[in-house]
Amino acid sequence: MRDELLNETLFFTVRQARSILARWVDDYNTERPHSSLGYATPAAFAAELEKQRAGLNPPVASPALLHDNNGRSLIAAG
């Protein structure tokens, strides 16, 4: 961002700076492919991760087994 935008752009007002920065961030995250993401955009990469996560099987153990519901305290009171 610094090399591509901030060092090369003269902003006259805070409102103008916010507007230009918002457009740059939107373009960076939705239009530009990133080599570290397999040349996908961050938005497309995140959508693919969500799709994969939604397709995962539920855990084998019941979530109830993760909690100690017997009412006993692990620390002695008093």
CA 34 to chain centre: 15
pTM: 0.58
Rg over alpha carbons for the chain, rounded to the nearest Å, is 24
* 3-class DSSP string for 43-59: HHHHHHHHHHHHCCCCC
Reported as a pLDDT band with limits 50, 70 and 90, residue 51 is: confident
Q: Count CA atoms closer than 13 A to 24's CA, side-chain side.
A: 14
pLDDT of residue 4: 87
SS3 3: helix
